[in-house]
Chain A
Amino acid sequence: MSKQPVAVVGVGQTKHVAARQDVSIAGLVREAAVRALADAELGWADIDAVVIGKAPDFFEGVMMPELYLAEALGAVGKPMLRVHTAGSVGGSTALVAANLVAAGVHGTVLTVAFEKQSESNAMWGLSLPIPFQQPLTAGAGGFFAPHVRAYMRRTGAPDTVGSLVAFKDRRNALKNPYAHLHEHDLTLERVQSSPMLWDPIRYSETCPSSDGACALVLTGARGAARAPRPPAWVHGGAMRSEPTIFAGKDYVSPQAGRDCAADVYRQAGVTDPRRQLDVVEMYVPFSWYEPMWLENLGFADQGEGWKLVEAGVTELDGDLPVNPSGGVLSSNPIGASGMIRFAEAALQVRGLAGEHQIDGARRALGHAYGGGAQFFSMWLVGSDRPGS
């Protein structure tokens, strides 16, 4: 049996903020879900199954939160399942939902991802002593900073590249009403003089801690035909994993990331991603990961990613805009961050991205990674139905 085409017909997200004290976790996810349903002009009865994802339970300390979220997400009497792949989970969750539609298992699926970082301490949750290692890992920043240094050393990139990315993403966020950080007064000089947290990563080159949720409504060709607004079509989607530690692991450009991108491009018939893609929503929690992923995802040759950043290629008006939404650097509800990348890619090809819309965007990549740069999930969405 051939795969059914999959369309994104509803996108919803919350306004990402440091602390949503007015809602519970259930209220937060429901808000995103209601907005996605409203975008699709569908009701709860139109949903056949719910797929939910979030980062480790340890963050908020709520074990298996999906159990208590079933009724808030209208899942009573329907299949509901939870996906878990660390920081990439928002992307993986959307892909599991898309696969259910592609396989013909369900007609219309609601998928949701969230994090309520104000009720958690992610840095503590990520710094637990690991048996047989010295307890030195200080949060995600502490884990990734050595790999950023390795990238700088390997490529000879100037120290300023990270600040250019951070400044770009924070300015892009000013055009996105859902972004957490709206730093109107930020200047490049302020980014460059912000405190060094995990040398070589500075405060302003680091993602915030956010409360937020994102939801998507996915459906097949018939659902897309009935949708009130243009759908985004899924042209390719893939996940890859590799161990946290193994001899020969390339932390700067992990093999699993390269393989995942190659699989997605093959499915979508993309042979030259730099030319054939109009916009990228990339998972960049620390600014230096933009040039690193530009290489990993095949947009630049090895060692050349930082040159695209310096040349302004990834700016809103560049020929390959990266993170027009402001990206993870401007909003980071961890479990939702990957799905927000997927959602923003969909909004771009639907022409519904608002002030940060890239004119005429027809093909977009949504990307997420997680764990010790070991889980990858990506999808490529287009404004045309695949094969048309």
Chain B
Amino acid sequence: MTTAAELLAGIPELAGAEPVTRVTIPARLEYTYSPGSAQARFLTALPEKRLLAERCPQCTRVYVPPRGACPTCGIATPEQLELPHTGTVTTFCIVNIAAKGLDVEVPYCYAYVLLDGAHVGLHARIGDTPYADVRIGQRVEAVWDDRRLGPSLASISHFRPTGEPDADPESYRRWM
């Protein structure tokens, strides 16, 4: 087989040129995301420090953020409810390496927080505590970021321990 270098050697003008084996072509994508009515209600409540959820009329599971429909039953979830700002850490990891483009300082604690009354975990950062003390079952509460209050989950800076005794594992075992 003829190599790229041999091909180049046959063209006097390109004698000695390095063959191109790789070029970087930047690409850019921007999304315009339409949240739909359920998530729009959730987002517009965040600047008021309110956490809106929805309950499935069939299986009674509570979703936060709400999606307007239950992924298991496949039906609309018209019943809205407001959840408290407290919950339980159901699992977590400590991230020690930075992902490109992610605006978080490492290390950070990435956790699933099951808000009281919800049946799916919210992805959240745990702070104001040594990471060695973070544990499954720990009780936590939302810390709102008054400078970033807006229609985004960035309104919640992180969750911090409440100091209450750990939750009974039975209360979250099925919702990890």
Q: Determine if B59 and A138 form an interchain contact, defined as CB atoms under 8 angstroms apart.
A: no
Chain A residues within 8 Å of B49, by CB: none
Q: Determine if A248 and B100 form an interchain contact, defined as CB atoms under 8 angstroms apart.
A: no
**Total number of residue pairs linking A and B with CB closer than 8 Å:** 122
Chain A residues within 8 Å of B25, by CB: 61
Known interface pairs A127-B101, A146-B112, A199-B93; 15 further A-B residue pairs with C-beta atoms within 8 A, sorted by A's residue number: A22-B21, A119-B22, A131-B39, A134-B124, A134-B153, A146-B93, A149-B136, A150-B90, A150-B91, A199-B131, A201-B93, A245-B71, A245-B120, A247-B61, A247-B63
- Chain B residues 45-101 with CB under 8 Å of chain A are 59, 61-63, 65, 71-72, 90-101
Q: Determine if B35 and A197 form an interchain contact, defined as CB atoms under 8 angstroms apart.
A: no
A123 within 8 A of B: yes
Chain B residues within 8 Å of A105, by CB: none
A243 within 8 A of B: yes
Q: Determine if A121 and B42 form an interchain contact, defined as CB atoms under 8 angstroms apart.
A: no
Q: How far is it, in angstroms, between the C-alpha of A312 and the C-alpha of B95 when the chains are bound?
A: 31
Chain B residues within 8 Å of A61, by CB: 25, 27
Which of A119, A134, A149 interacts with B92 by CB under 8 Å? A149
B174 within 8 A of A: yes
Which of B43, B96, B119, B174 interacts with A132 by CB under 8 Å? B43
Which of B35, B42, B125, B175 interacts with A134 by CB under 8 Å? B125
Nearest Cβ on chain A to B173's Cβ, whole angstroms: 9
Chain A residues within 8 Å of B112, by CB: 146
Chain A residues within 8 Å of B136, by CB: 149-150, 153
9 A-B pairs with CB atoms under 8 Å apart are A119-B22, A123-B99, A124-B99, A128-B101, A132-B43, A138-B98, A198-B96, A245-B71, A248-B119
Q: Determine if A137 and B91 form an interchain contact, defined as CB atoms under 8 angstroms apart.
A: no
Question: How many chain B residues have a CB neighbour from A under 8 Å?
Answer: 49
Chain A residues within 8 Å of B124, by CB: 134, 136
Question: Top 3 A-B pairs ranked by shortest CB distance?
Answer: A145-B93, A247-B119, A247-B61
Chain A contact residues, CB within 8 Å of chain B: 21-22, 61, 119, 121, 123-124, 127-128, 131-139, 142, 145-150, 153, 195-201, 243, 245-248, 250-252
Chain A residues within 8 Å of B108, by CB: 136
Q: Determine if B176 and A198 form an interchain contact, defined as CB atoms under 8 angstroms apart.
A: no
Interface centre among A127, A128, A138, A145 (most CB of B within 10 A): A138
Q: Determine if A127 and B93 form an interchain contact, defined as CB atoms under 8 angstroms apart.
A: no
Q: Determine if B99 and A139 form an interchain contact, defined as CB atoms under 8 angstroms apart.
A: yes
B140 within 8 A of A: no
B154 within 8 A of A: yes
Q: How far is it, in angstroms, between the C-alpha of A131 and the C-alpha of B30 when the chains are bound?
A: 12
Q: Determine if A149 and B93 form an interchain contact, defined as CB atoms under 8 angstroms apart.
A: yes
Which of A134, A138, A252 interacts with B99 by CB under 8 Å? A138
Q: How far is it, in angstroms, between the C-alpha of A21 and the C-alpha of B4 when the chains are bound?
A: 12
Chain B residues within 8 Å of A200, by CB: 93
Which of B63, B95, B174 interacts with A142 by CB under 8 Å? B95
Q: Determine if B65 and A124 form an interchain contact, defined as CB atoms under 8 angstroms apart.
A: no
Q: Determine if B35 and A137 form an interchain contact, defined as CB atoms under 8 angstroms apart.
A: no
Chain A residues within 8 Å of B72, by CB: 246-248
